[in-house]
Structures are given as C-alpha cells and as structure tokens.
Structure 1
Amino acid sequence: MSITVRAFALADEEAVIRLWHEAGLTRPWNDPRADIRRKLTVQPELFLVAVDQPVDGTAEAVVGTVMAGYDGHRGLGSVSPRARHRAPARHGVRAPARGHGVSEGAAHGAA
C-alpha cells in the first residue's frame, strides 16, 4: 500500500463521486458532477485526490479528496470509510492540503 496525493484528473470523476456517496457527502439536490465541473473552472490545482497504489500492481483506488477554496466547499475533505483506519489515508490528504492553505480542520472534512 502506498498513498499518494495528486491533482484531480478527469478520469477520477466516477471514483470521486463514489467516494463522496460512501462518505455521505452528496445531497439529492446537488449534482456532484456539476460541482466537479464548476471546481475545475476555479483553482483546479486545489482539487486533490489521495490514491492508494497497491504494491501488487493492481489499479490505484481513490481513497480521499480535498476540494479547497471553492463556493461553499472551502476545505471539503473526504476519506473512504474503508480507509479511515489507515493512518496514511487519514493524514495523506491533510499535509498536501495544508501546503495549499487549507486548515487542519477543513482538510479533515468527513474523515
């Protein structure tokens, strides 16, 4: 297991939305795809994903997100419920987020 944090890529969209559903962050009246599209127009470098890159060569999995500095989602963070017990997942999203000006509490989000 190796957790890395990188900028969101369009290929991450379905995994991010699935994570947000699992973490209880979505609402019926708020389209997560529209949120992503809007965020990508304003400081897209502040939309980060934490990915678990298994050492066995299987596909990486999105286990956390941070969407900073954007329309009511300032510092919105999430960590996969399956990964919350793993320290790298809990802390892996926070440190890079702080480097982008997101406070510790905000980066913690739904974690």
Structure 2
Amino acid sequence: MDRVIYLHPQAPSKPPEYAVCNGCGVCCASEPCPLGRVLSRRASGPCRALLWDEGRHRYVCGALARPEQQLPRGLRWAAPWLARAARRMIAAGVGCDSSVLAQPQH
C-alpha cells in the first residue's frame, strides 16, 4: 500500500537500509518506534517526537535532542534518563533500520 509522508524540503534523501543514519526522517515520519509510540500516544502515523533541526538540516529524535520537551512538566526531572534510554532504544548511531521505500513527490 502506498502512503504519502511529508518531510521538510531540505531533508536528506533516505539512505539504504543499514547505512549510516543521515537524519532523513523517513522512519519516524512513517511510524513511531516503540519509544515513539509511548511519547506520541499512538501506534501509527508520524512520531510526535520527530523534530526538524534547522541548523543541521536534518531530523532528530526529540527524546534525544530535547527530552524535557517530550515529558509532562512534573516529569521533566527524568529528561536525562529519557535521553540515555532513547539512545539505546532507537540504536542511535547504529544505522538505518527502515525498510520503507521513499520517493520524492513529482
């Protein structure tokens, strides 16, 4: 089934599966990971923790880049824990784990 996801026009193209992550955002825009399901409170659609980093022209995981913004005010003390847990849960820096076939819209 074809599905359309919308990404920032300056987002890099999706790398091949298992290649180094380049912040294209395709994986998180297509569906949230297990941590993203908790943070987004949904099992499908784009992850609400997906953030565009204007300075680096790439997407980042909000649980890593701005963990305090992903937590309710009363739990923001746990932001450092969330960032550490997120790094492990999403395998940050390991490589692209998305098998989604992405094509630019013509």
Q: Same fold (TM over 0.5)?
A: no
TM-score scaled by structure 2? 0.32
Higher relative strand content: 1
